[in-house]
Every structure is written in structure tokens, then in C-alpha cells.
Homo-oligomer: A and B are copies of this chain.
Amino acid sequence: MAKGLPKRSDDYSAWYNELVKKADLAENSAVRGCMVIKPYGYAIWEKMQQTLDKMFKDTGHSNAYFPLLIPKSYLSKEADHVDGFAKECAVVTHYRLKNAEDGSGVVVDPEAKLDEELIVRPTSETVIWSTYKNWIQSYRDLPLLVNQWANVMRWEMRTRLFLRTSEFLWQEGHTAHATKDEAVAETKQMLEVYADFAENFMGVPVVKGVKTANERFAGAVDTFCIEAMMQDGKALQAGTSHFLGQNFAKAFDVKFSDKDNKLEHVWGTSWGVSTRLMGALIMAHSDDEGLVLPPKLAPIQVVIVPIYKGQEQLDAISEKAKEIQKALQALNISVKFDDRDSLRPGFKFADWELKGVPVRIAMGQRDLENGTVEIARRDTKEKNTHQLDGVVETVQQLLDEIQAAIYNKALDYRESHITKVENFDEFKDVLENKGGFIAAHWDGTTETEEKIKDLTKATIRCIPLNNEQEEGTCILTGKPSTQRVLFAKAY
């Protein structure tokens, strides 16, 4: 167990909080609810960004940048949208400070009051659709496929590093289309991109589904989502893709002339993932020794630790180690050779375990004599002695194995934690004693959904896509239902 890291079984929540700090991922800042993402944490986020950015471009999207500040009046133009975001936004009211007359520092200059207050974007639909109005005239301007990487701010009352912070980093795609079908297809395509990324890069299996009206994005017609399961059985919404219908086009009067020269409102989508994914990544795989990172997103994929006494041994081991490092780097594998002289090997092992480096190679004097190395994998902690010959191929293969193993382990856990229940007693029992996703019948009303949430803290995570249709009765009201939905406690 890493020094000072609580055990998951003792206090999952404390384990997560401490892990984020001890592994140098992020920390709280002096500004309430805003985090500092530290270099090691940011390096993981950069790998996520690069991967996603390529996926967005491969599906025809371009990046752009829209203003941070949004006129207050814009929010009100879409009725649901303003209800969803007005209550938690940072408001800029002045544009200047001045020296306090008593010399105590700076104060807001009352003469520099803005005519209209500006809010720090909580999301950018309003400012982007107000811009699209000028970009779109004809069907030839469509589809418009734009993404933005940006910071956004929602004044959350209870915050947790990565999972819920007042400021967070994200990407937000905003697309405009000539037809409803195209917009729906885009919404679903981006949901697939997110699921692909979560499963094949993060190693996190996800359920693809649609949100109930109650959990829908403020301003959307339909919100699709990917839901992941953490090791404590709680759900984490990892990405959302919204079909906006013509809501924002109508709010901002965005029309196009179609091929028959008829003026129509444009159809829209928006979709986003955020630094919240960092929280999902950490909680899905890590253990009591520290982070477990999937090789595809690990900033350092392999660490080489020399075990030596004196400079002569170090020199001899370094020579071999650097050969291995070079050969691995030639295959685009990132390798750290940890020759810090002031630290013992045991400390280094624990440090790199804490940081989640997937593969560790250790090399001592005896290895040098025997032409061997010790290779340890982070996820299972298996260690084996390997011949130096072929070590590069072994490591390369091992990284692929680890990527697959991490995913399969998370999948096994999830599959064994989806439980069908038939009545409310069973529901409460499973929720309390087992956790995970609960597949249950629900009568389809927001009222029942809210009541279940009040009674149990569980929410409907989603109605899975391609859900099996099945006659049943609502676990709370006994009213008829045609399909099960997934309930869970969620982050």
C-alpha cells in the first residue's frame, strides 16, 4: 500500500481524494472549487485531448474558438437553457480595479460598471448560435461541424477534484445541419466516438443510452450519454451528446434557404467531454498502491530502474538500459530511465506504482551478468525474469496485453454488477448491499423518478440504446412499463 494512501475497502472516497494528490495529478487552489492540474495529471489529459482531437477531425470537424464571456441576455433566449445555468454562473460586472483610498490594496472601481453583465461561459450554445446566424445562409453552408477546446465555469457548491469543479476543461462540439435526420445521425455518431474512446483508450466499458427528460441537457430535445461504472459500484456519466432540434436555431433566428429557396430553421447538436474523464480513468482502474493507467494514455509507458552499488555498476547498467530505452522509443513507446542517485530502488518502485506506469523494468548486477532483466506489470503486479534478447518485443506485447486486461477487468466487474430487480424492496437491498447498475421497470414519469431519487439517492442513468422491450410494472408505482431502465447512485 502506498504510503498514506487509504485502502479502497476502508474509505473509497478518501482513497480517491488522496490518490489524486499523491500521484501529482491535481490539487485544490485558493479559489473555491477551482483546481490546479499538475504536470503529471495534465500529461494524461493531453493524451486524451490528442486522441479525441484526431477522432473529431477524422469525422470531419474543425476546431474554432468563441468568447469566454457571454452577455447575460443571451442566456435568456432559450427558456430551458437559462433555467439550467443561471443559478450557477460567475458574473462579471466591472472592468477595472482601482487603489483603495485607505491604501489597503485594490477595490472595484464603481465607475467601471458594465452596461450589461457578462457571464463566464458555463457552456457555449448561446454565443455560438448567435455567431452561426451570420455564418449560415444557404444549404451550401451546411453541415457546419465545429469543435472548441476550452475552459468553462459552473459555480458548484460541492466540488471534488476532476469530478465536479467550478472551472473545468472540456471540448464542446456544436454542429448545424439542414435536416433533422442529419442532426440525429451526428448526435449518435459522436456518442459512438465517445464510447470508442472510453473503451479502447481509457479501457472503461460504457453503457450507451438516452437520458430521461429530467436528466436532459437544458435546451436539448434528447440527451444521449455514456455511463461508466466505478469500482465502488457508482455510476459516472462520462460524456454526453445532445440533439438540440431547432431550439437554439429558433432562439437565435438561424435560418437557411434550402435547395428550393425555402427558408428553414437549422437543426443542431452539441456534445462534450471534460476533465471529469480524468476522474473516471482514476476510479475505474486504480488500486491501493496507486494509479493503474491504460498504456494508451500513460504519459510514461515503461520505467527502467537500475539496481546498483557504486558508479561502476551504474555505468554498466546504464549502458544496457539506454539501449533498451532507445529501442523502445523507436517504436513510439515512452520510456523513463530513473537513475536518480539519491533514492533507493524500493522507493522508486513504489513511486512508479503510485504513478501508474504500466511496465517496470529492473536491472541489477546479476541481470547484467546473466543477460536478463526483471519485467513487472503494474496492473497484476506479476514479475518475471526475461532474456535481454527480445525484451523490446516482450514489452511491446505486454503493453497491448495490459491495455486489454484492464478493460476486461473493468468489464467483468461491471457485468457482475448489473442486477435486475422486480420490486422496490429488492431495489433498495441491491442498492445498499451490492451497488452497481440496477435494471428495473419504471412508469416513465418524472414524478416517480424524483420520488425514487428522494428515497434512495439513485437516479436513472439512462435508457440503454437498443433496449430489450419487455412487459413489466414500475417498481415504485406498479404502473405498466415496457422496458427496464438503469438506475444507480452516481458521481
Binding site for B on A (CB under 8 A): 27, 29-31, 34-39, 42-43, 45-46, 62-76, 82, 86-99, 105-106, 108, 117-120, 127, 130-131, 134, 140, 146, 150-151, 153, 155, 167, 169, 342
Minimum distance in angstroms from A419 CB to a CB of chain B = 39
On chain B, the residues within 8 Å of A74 by CB distance are: 30
Task: Report yes or no: B120 in contact with A35, Cβ–Cβ below 8 A.
Answer: no
On chain B, the residues within 8 Å of A36 by CB distance are: 64-67, 131
Beyond A42-B62, A68-B68, A89-B97, 6 extra complex contacts between A and B, CB < 8 Å: A31-B69, A31-B70, A38-B64, A43-B62, A68-B167, A75-B106
Minimum distance in angstroms from A140 CB to a CB of chain B = 8
Task: Report yes or no: A167 in contact with B69, Cβ–Cβ below 8 A.
Answer: yes
On chain B, the residues within 8 Å of A90 by CB distance are: 69, 92, 94-95, 118
Q: A63-B42, A64-B36, A86-B106 are in contact. Are A31 and B96 (CB under 8 A)?
A: no
Task: Report yes or no: B92 in contact with A96, Cβ–Cβ below 8 A.
Answer: no
Q: How many angstroms from the CA of A74 to the CA of B105 in the assembled complex?
A: 10
Q: How many angstroms from the CA of A39 to the CA of B73 in the assembled complex?
A: 26
Q: How many angstroms from the CA of A132 to the CA of B255 in the assembled complex?
A: 51
On chain B, the residues within 8 Å of A150 by CB distance are: 151
On chain B, the residues within 8 Å of A127 by CB distance are: 29-31
Task: Report yes or no: B67 in contact with A34, Cβ–Cβ below 8 A.
Answer: yes
On chain B, the residues within 8 Å of A105 by CB distance are: 72-73, 76, 82
Task: Report yes or no: A88 in contact with B95, Cβ–Cβ below 8 A.
Answer: yes
Q: Would you list 5 pairs from A and B whose C-beta atoms are within 8 A, ordered by A residue?
A: A36-B131, A86-B106, A91-B95, A108-B117, A140-B342
Minimum distance in angstroms from A2 CB to a CB of chain B = 20
Q: How many angstroms from the CA of A96 to the CA of B36 in the assembled complex?
A: 23
Minimum distance in angstroms from A7 CB to a CB of chain B = 26
Partner pick for A120 among B65, B73, B76, B120, CB 8 A cutoff: B120
On chain B, the residues within 8 Å of A75 by CB distance are: 97, 106
Task: Report yes or no: A91 in contact with B89, Cβ–Cβ below 8 A.
Answer: no
The 5 A-B pairs with the shortest beta carbon distances in the complex, nearest first, are A39-B62, A34-B67, A86-B97, A37-B65, A76-B105
Considering the complex, give the chain B residue whose CB is closest to the CB of A117: B108
Q: A87-B97, A95-B91 are in contact. Are A67 and B106 (CB under 8 A)?
A: no
Q: How many angstroms from the CA of A89 to the CA of B97 in the assembled complex?
A: 7
On chain B, the residues within 8 Å of A117 by CB distance are: 108
Task: Report yes or no: B92 in contact with A92, Cβ–Cβ below 8 A.
Answer: yes
